Amino acid sequence: MMINEKFKIQASCTDDFDSEAITVSNARQRILAKINPVSATEQSALYQSLNRVLAQDIISAMNVPGHTNSAMDGYALAGDDLPQTAPRQYKVIGTSFAGRPFNDQCHAGQCVRIMTGAAMPAGTDTVVMQEHVEKITETEIRFAQGHRKSQNVRQAGEDICKGSIVLQKGHTIQAADLGVMASIGIGDITVYRQPRIAFFSTGDELRPVGDTLGTGDIYDSNRYSLHGLLSQLNVETIDLGIVKDKPEDLREAFKNASEIADLVITTGGVSVGEADYVKQIVEEMGEINFWKIAMKPGRPITFGKLGDAAYFGLPGNPVSVMTTFYQFALPAIQRLSGQADRSPLTIRVICTSDLRKRAGRFECQRGILSYNESGQLTVCATGKQGSGILTSMSRANCLILLDDECDGIEAGDSVTVQPFGTYL
Ligand code: AMP
Ligand code: MG
């Protein structure tokens, strides 16, 4: 990466660097090590199973296709009986339809009219497409040389072989998987129970949408962003509303949440301000694993345990909530769901903006991926990157991930981006 002198900034004792802060990847590893996937399973009707996580290997009891069949509308015959040097005439002895096979034997000099998907009749292994055939009478056709034995035929088991593992335990079921399982006749499957995730916002200044704001009040937007993020996932959500910065209220909310959920997520109250009680209370009631991460925007964040439930205390700033969700909560939730571990999709693209960044911490800047005139995928910054500027997240379709060592990007440099939203 090019060193960008224009934006190179030296760390000073007055900035927010913290020598005790741990790296993002270290934090993620520590979190994942503490997450116990939900082990309870349940039966799920195939039709209702999109996005659920398989708790069993899916093994096929049959071949797909179940019988060797035609890939074209045309005429089936023996490949050894194809014309070699000059056009030849054949007798049409019957028709094989999809679902209505032709049951007699086909011999040399003969062929069978065949439709796409129809079973290949005995004595045939090759299909000549109808466009290549000249029809002489209802029962006689002619076509030229130049065809290949076995052409236009789908072999039994060519998609799925009987006895093979089609989908593995831990796989998240996609649209095509529903079709694949249906194609082998499976209508009910065993999946992991969805994790239950309880969340609430903390802050005396927060008012629910619909209320009138007093001086210094703000609407609680974090709960809406979180609701949106969680609703895209395979989880059950429990919205516990707004909780005041009062130790008794927080204790009560944490107790309630940890009894009903596998994971509790809160926003706000985790810094070291006078009204920030979250850390202290979680420490009292459970266990806190770490506290400071070298990441912007995003620190401080808290991860811990409340009884059997895992706990994330995300920052209060609306952008930080979303960036820390993508970096930490999302992989944790995927693990909790029983999904096989996988890295998020990231892409290297050309950045068309200059980006300010200081070395020593990881940054998630908001980016817009788009195609330039030559059809190449590029990313530009959304503009102001403050952690309170939630519209930057709204305009963005990816996070630009800048690692600890990076000390600025000049337009034209390559950067790594993590698409989100519909690409998740
Ligand atoms: P805190 O971490 O509680 O100090 O909050 C940091 C900043 O985020 C403050 O400006 C809060 O007002 C703001 N904030 C906290 N919670 C929310 C919320 N639920 N919705 C919108 N902004 C919030
Ligand atoms: Mg607060």
3-class DSSP state of 418 = strand
Report how far ligand 2's centroid is from the alpha carbon of 244 (Å).
9
The band of 11, judged by pLDDT with boundaries at 50, 70 and 90, is: very low
For ligand 1, atom 6: residue with the closest CA: 316
Report how far ligand 1's centroid is from the alpha carbon of 269 (Å).
8
- State yes or no: pLDDT of 16 exceeds 70: no
Q: Which atom of ligand 1 is nearest to the CA of 221?
A: 20
372-393 pLDDT, tens digit each: 999 999 999 998 888 889 999 9
Q: What share of the chain is helix, strand, coil (3-state, %, to 5)?
A: 20, 30, 45
Q: What angle do CA 379, 384, 390 make, to 5 degrees?
A: 95
DSSP 138-164: TTEEEE-S---TTTTEEPTTSSB-TT-
Task: Classify each residue of 354-377 as buried b or exposed e, where b means 16 or more C-beta atoms within 10 Å of its C-beta.
Answer: ebbbbbbbbbbbbbbbeeeeeeee
- pLDDT score for 290: 65
For ligand 1, atom 10: residue with the closest CA: 317
Contacts of 260 (CB under 8 A, 6+ apart): 196, 198, 238
Q: Which atom of ligand 1 is nearest to the CA of 267?
A: 16
Task: Assess whether the previous peptide bond of 65 is cis (omega < 30° from 0).
Answer: yes
Contact (CB, 8 A) for 278 and 243: no
**Looking at this protein, which amino acid is placed at residue 420?**
F
Report how far ligand 2's centroid is from the alpha carbon of 245 (Å).
7
Q: What is the mean pLDDT of the chain?
A: 92
- pLDDT score for 4: 41
Report how far ligand 1's centroid is from the alpha carbon of 169 (Å).
40
- pLDDT score for 7: 38
In this structure, the dihedral spanned by the alpha carbons of residues 413, 4, 420 and 312, taken in order and rounded to 10 degrees, is: 150
Query: For a substitution probing ligand 1, which of 267, 270, 314 has the most ligand atoms within 8 Å of its CB?
Result: 267
Rounded alpha-carbon distances, angstroms, from residue 392 to 67, 117, 409: 55, 52, 19
- pLDDT score for 3: 40
Out of 27-31, 53-57, 274-278, 287-291, the most confident range is 53-57
- State yes or no: pLDDT of 370 exceeds 90: yes
- Report the side by side order of strands in the sheet with 196-202: 236-243, 196-202, 263-267, 309-314, 302-306, 287-290
Report how far ligand 1's centroid is from the alpha carbon of 321 (Å).
9
Contact (CB, 8 A) for 133 and 114: no
The β-bridge relationship of strands 414-419 and 347-351 is antiparallel
Spatial distance between the Cα atoms of 49 and 180, rounded to a whole number of angstroms: 13
Contacts of 338 (CB under 8 A, 6+ apart): 37, 38, 39, 53, 55, 170, 192
- pLDDT score for 291: 64
Spatial distance between the Cα atoms of 61 and 137, rounded to a whole number of angstroms: 44
Q: Can you give the pTM of this predicted structure?
A: 0.86
Spatial distance between the Cα atoms of 401 and 421, rounded to a whole number of angstroms: 16
Q: Where are the alpha helices (DSSP H) in 115-246?
A: 175-183, 222-231
- Pocket lining for ligand 1, CB < 6 angstroms: 201, 203, 205-206, 218, 220-223, 267-271, 273, 315-318
Q: Would residue 256 be called left, alpha or beta, if left means φ above 0 and alpha means ψ between -120 and 50 degrees?
A: alpha
Phi, psi of 327 (to 5 degrees): -80, -35
Q: Which atom of ligand 1 is nearest to the CA of 315?
A: 2
- pLDDT score for 422: 63
Contacts of 192 (CB under 8 A, 6+ apart): 37, 38, 39, 40, 41, 42, 52, 53, 55, 337, 338
Contact (CB, 8 A) for 191 and 55: yes
3-class DSSP state of 134 = strand
Report how far ligand 1's centroid is from the alpha carbon of 404 (Å).
26
DSSP 46-73: GGG-TT-BBSS-EE-SS-BSSS-EESSS
Query: For a substitution probing ligand 1, which of 317, 322, 387 has the most ligand atoms within 8 Å of its CB?
Result: 317
The band of 342, judged by pLDDT with boundaries at 50, 70 and 90, is: confident
What's the whole-number mean pLDDT along residues 97-121?
97
What's the whole-number mean pLDDT along residues 259-265?
98
Out of 15-24, 297-306, 327-336, 413-422, the most confident range is 327-336
- The percent of residues in the chain predicted with pLDDT above 70, rounded, is 94
Rounded alpha-carbon distances, angstroms, from residue 365 to 172, 317, 323, 355: 29, 15, 9, 9
- State yes or no: pLDDT of 9 exceeds 50: no
Closest ligand to Cα 216: 1
Closest ligand to Cα 273: 1
Q: Which atom of ligand 1 is nearest to the CA of 269?
A: 3
Contacts of 61 (CB under 8 A, 6+ apart): 162, 163, 184, 185
**Looking at this protein, which amino acid is placed at residue 360?**
G
Report how far ligand 1's centroid is from the alpha carbon of 222 (Å).
8
The band of 135, judged by pLDDT with boundaries at 50, 70 and 90, is: very high
